[in-house]
Amino acid sequence: MDDKTAAATVPAGQQAAYRGGTKLRQHYPTVDYLRRRARGRIPHFAFEYSDGGAGTDGGIRRNWAGLDAVELVPRYGVMPALPPVEITLFGRKYAAPIGIAPMGGPAIVWPGADSYMAVAAQRARVPYTLGTVGGITIEQAATLAPDVLWFQLYRMARNDHWLGFELMRRCEAAGVHVLVMTVDVPVRTVRPREVVVGLGGSKFSPGPRMLYQMLRSPGWLLSLWQRGQPRFANIKNYAGNNASVNDVISFARNEIGGAFTWDEIARFRDKWKKPLVLKGIMHPADAERAIALGIDGVWVSNHGGRQIEALPAPIDVLPAVAAQVGARATVLFDSGVRSGLDVVRAVALGAQAAFAGKAFLWGLGALGGKGPGHVLDLMIDETRASLGQIGAQSPADARKGVIRHPGALAFPEF
C-alpha cells in the first residue's frame, strides 16, 4: 500500500502517521538519522556539546538500553485505527505526551536554537521548557510560545536567592505556566568530550581549531551571522552594563550553584502559586518529600546522563516513583527518549508525559530551524502509531497492558 492509499483508509484527523512520503521523512525517518547528519554538518565542538555525557557516556548508553529493554505486549481486535494522543497536564491541554526539556546553551549546537524550539512547540502544542541558561529571555519565549511555556530554574542562592526570585517574578509577569526547579546538579561535573573540544573552561575563547571547524560548517556560520553569538539571555542584564560574553559567563558561574534544599524549595513553593515541578527526582522517598511540600509535579530524570554515569536509567526507577506518587501529583519523565515508542514506554510505566533534550539538538544540527518541528512531527506520529500497534486507545490506556521491564528497580522500605 503506498502512502496515499494508506492515508485514505485512515479516519480524518488521524492521518499523521502516514505522512511517510515527505522529503524530510524520507531522508530522516527517525531521530537517529538526524543525529548522524548533525555529526557531519555542524562544527565538531557543537556536536560534542549535544552528544556527550559524564565520564565515558555510560549513563547515556544505560538510558538508551533501559528504554530499549522495555517490552509491551499487544492486544488486538480493540482499536480499529490510530488512537488520539492529546493529554492534559496541570489543567492545560497538549497535543501529545511529549515535551522539550530545558537546555542551557542549545545555541552552541545551532545559533537561534531556543527560538526555533519555542516556535515548534507552540505550533505542535506541546510544552516548551526554557532553561535558566537558555539563549532567549523569558519575555521573548512568552511571545513565541505563549500557550506552552514552562521555565526551568537553577539554584542561585547569593543574596538570599534574589536572582531566583527575580526570575520567578518575571515568569509570573510573562505568563509562564509551570516552574521547574532542577534538583540534580549539586556539583559541577566534567564532561570529557566538552573539555577536549574547548568548551570546558570558564571562558569562551575559540582557538584556531574551533574557528576551522566553524569555517567548515557554512550553514551553522550563516546562522551565527544572522542570530548572533549565544549568550545567557535571562541573566545577561544582571551582569552589569557593557558586560562582555565572558563577563556574563563568569557571572552565571558565580551565581548558579548547588542543589536546592527542601527548605529552599518550600520558600519557592510559598511564592509561586502556579504549578511547580521538581526535576531530577530518582527516589520514591524524594518524591514523597516533594509531595509533602505541595509540589505539583515530579520529573524523573538523570539529566540525560550528563551529571554522573553511575545513576540508574530513569526508566528503571519510574514505576516505583509513579507508584509512590499515585494520583497526588503529575509524573514527568526524561533521559534517553529518542522516539515516540520511547514516549509510549515511559507513559506505560507511569509517566504522564516524556520529554527529550538531545533529540531536539540533533534535529537542529541536522536541519537547522526546521529540526525541532521535524523531531516533534516524528515523535508525535510514532507515539500515535506505537499506541495503535499495541492496541491502546489512549496514552493512559498503555498502562493497562502487560509489560516486561527487566531493569525495574525495587526500593526497600524507606
Ligand X SMILES: Cc1cc2nc3c(=O)[nH]c(=O)nc-3n(C[C@H](O)[C@H](O)[C@H](O)COP(=O)(O)O)c2cc1C
When asked if residue 303 is in the footprint of ligand X (CB under 6 A), the reply is yes
Q: Strand, coil or helix: what is 369?
A: helix
Strands 403-404 and 71-72: antiparallel
Site string for ligand X, 50-79 (x = CB under 6 A): -------------x----------------
Instruction: Provide CB contacts within 8 A for 7, sequence distance 6+.
Output: 15, 18, 19
When asked if residue 111 is in the footprint of ligand X (CB under 6 A), the reply is no
When asked if residue 398 is in the footprint of ligand X (CB under 6 A), the reply is no
Closest by alpha carbon to 272, among 157, 185, 167, 184? 167
Q: Which range, of 36-44, 316-324, 333-341, 381-389, touches ligand X by CB under 6 A?
A: 333-341
Within a 10 A sphere around the Cβ of 244, how many other Cβ atoms?
Answer: 13
Exactly one of 336, 350, 369, 388 binds ligand X (CB under 6 A); that residue is 336
Q: How many residues does the chain have?
A: 414
| Shortest Å, Cβ 129 to ligand X | 7
Q: Which is nearer to ligand X, 15 or 352 (CB)?
A: 352
DSSP state of 398: G
When asked if residue 104 is in the footprint of ligand X (CB under 6 A), the reply is yes
Q: Which range, of 12-20, 96-104, 375-383, 389-397, touches ligand X by CB under 6 A?
A: 96-104
Residue 154 is placed in which grid cell?
537553577
Residue 374 is placed in which grid cell?
521535524
Residue 271 is placed in which grid cell?
511564592
Q: Strand, coil or helix: what is 300?
A: strand
Q: Which range, of 248-256, 260-268, 281-289, 303-311, touches ligand X by CB under 6 A?
A: 303-311
| Shortest Å, Cβ 289 to ligand X | 19
Q: Which range, of 6-14, 221-229, 242-250, 330-338, touches ligand X by CB under 6 A?
A: 330-338
Q: Which range, of 119-127, 240-248, 267-275, 350-358, touches ligand X by CB under 6 A?
A: 350-358
Q: Which is nearer to ligand X, 43 or 388 (CB)?
A: 43
| Shortest Å, Cβ 302 to ligand X | 8
When asked if residue 199 is in the footprint of ligand X (CB under 6 A), the reply is no
| Shortest Å, Cβ 134 to ligand X | 7
Residue 263 is placed in which grid cell?
527548605
Neighbouring C-alpha atoms within 13 Å toward the C-beta of 168 = 23
When asked if residue 152 is in the footprint of ligand X (CB under 6 A), the reply is yes
When asked if residue 234 is in the footprint of ligand X (CB under 6 A), the reply is no
Annotation says 161 is catalytic:
no
Exactly one of 7, 82, 103, 233 binds ligand X (CB under 6 A); that residue is 103
* Identity of the amino acid at 247: D
Q: Which range, of 38-46, 164-172, 353-361, 395-403, touches ligand X by CB under 6 A?
A: 353-361
Judged on CB neighbours under 10 Å (0-12, 13-18, 19+), 163 is buried
Exactly one of 35, 62, 191, 279 binds ligand X (CB under 6 A); that residue is 279
Rounded Cα–Cα distance for residues 196 and 191 (Å): 9
Instruction: Provide CB contacts within 8 A for 368, sequence distance 6+.
Output: 110, 116, 219, 223
When asked if residue 337 is in the footprint of ligand X (CB under 6 A), the reply is yes
| Shortest Å, Cβ 6 to ligand X | 30
When asked if residue 101 is in the footprint of ligand X (CB under 6 A), the reply is yes
When asked if residue 340 is in the footprint of ligand X (CB under 6 A), the reply is no
44, 303, 374, 405: the catalytic one is 303
| Shortest Å, Cβ 10 to ligand X | 30
| Shortest Å, Cβ 181 to ligand X | 9
Burial call 263-302: b when 16+ CB within 10 Å, e when fewer: ebbeebbeebeebbbbbbbbbbebbbebbeeebbbbbbbb
When asked if residue 304 is in the footprint of ligand X (CB under 6 A), the reply is yes
DSSP state of 357: S
In 228-306, where do the E strands start and end? 276-281, 297-300
Residue 367 and residue 28 in contact, taking contact as beta carbons nearer than 8 Å: yes
Phi and psi angles of residue 264, each rounded to the nearest 5 degrees, phi first: -65, -40
Q: For binding to ligand X (CB under 6 A), which residues are involved?
A: 49, 63, 101-104, 131, 133, 152, 182, 279, 301, 303-304, 306, 334-337, 356-359
The catalytic site residues sit at 303
